[in-house]
Amino acid sequence: MDTTVQTLAGTILITGAHGKTGRRVAARLTSAGHLVRSASRSGDHPFDWTNPHTWPAAVDGVAAAYLTYQPDLALPGARDAVTGVATALAERGVQRVVLLSGRGEPLAQECERAFLDLVPTGTVVRCAFFDQNFTEGPFAPAVIDGVLALPGAPDVAEPFLDAEDIADVVVTALLAEGTEHEGRVLELTGPRAVPLVETARILGDAAGHRVQYQQVSAADFAAVAEAAGLPTDEARGLAELFVDLLDGHNSATTTTVADVLGRPARSLEEFAAEAAAGGAWARA
């Protein structure tokens, strides 16, 4: 695909600008000279997905937007929130909007369709499991402790995806000339599907100590998530979501990262080596 970009005049809204993909997108846009509005509960531009009163001021005056819903598009409340913000953007004539979505999630796909109905020129980036969940997310302590516990069989494979690749695709979709990405769902994966038991081995090899894979029940997974600070309903919802996602139906790969960027997606091995070199899993 042609990845020629143009200068997009005006401010670009980013929700979740401190998250795994949001801050990477913000950094790329800022570095390229674009004005970025980072919307969050505690920032200069208050924004809360659960509070519709915060949406109009956040979207006023923007030329484009990158929307990341927390905690996941497949959980209750997501569709109403996403369509509410999309409606506010559409009413203001904002046509260049990118929505982050999860792969293999029927409820998330309902959100995608509703979003594109409201913003037909928008783009959805539908993503596989992030590599960065092992360094910046809930499983980083598991790698350090040496036990990766998930509600999926050891031989289930996932095409893990680097958030750096996601950010590059998002920026391309926001800034690309013409209509190439408009109205499209870009399904992003890493270059190969890695069995969960091999995932633990790859992370352990990079970290310099053994990481064992352990399949756990949804209840046990939820209990750990709740102990880590998630509200009970959210922990249980994520546990059920992980059971659905880690059943093998997401194992197929796509070439979309390479198609959009003109280079291959980064492998889990490459990511893990770089993360370890940066001290991501250093033990005290």
Q: How many domains does the chain have?
A: 1
Measure the CA–CA gap between 156 and 267, rounded to whole angstroms.
17
Structural domain of residue 261, as residue ranges?
11-129+161-189+251-265
Q: What is the DSSP letter of 75?
A: S
Whether this prediction's pTM lies above 0.85 is answered by yes
28 located within any domain: yes
Residue 127: predicted pLDDT:
97
* Structure token digits, residue 52: 């519709």
pLDDT along the chain (284 residues), means of 10: 56 95 97 95 88 96 96 91 98 97 95 98 97 92 95 97 98 90 97 98 98 96 86 87 92 98 98 97 86
17 located within any domain: yes
- One-letter amino acid of 174: L
- Our measurement of the distance from residue 259's CA atom to the centroid of its chain's CA atoms, rounded to an integer in Å, reads 19
Measure the CA–CA gap between 238 and 261, rounded to whole angstroms.
31
173 located within any domain: yes
114 located within any domain: yes
24 located within any domain: yes
2 located within any domain: no
Taking alpha carbons only, the member of 197, 200, 196, 172 closest to residue 186 is 172
CATH number of the domain to which 102 belongs: 3.40.50.720
Residue 43: predicted pLDDT:
75
16 located within any domain: yes
Measure the CA–CA gap between 201 and 165, rounded to whole angstroms.
23
Residue 257: predicted pLDDT:
98
Beta strands in the chain (DSSP E): 11-15, 35-40, 45-46, 62-67, 96-102, 123-127, 147-150, 157-158, 184-188, 194-195, 212-215
195 located within any domain: no
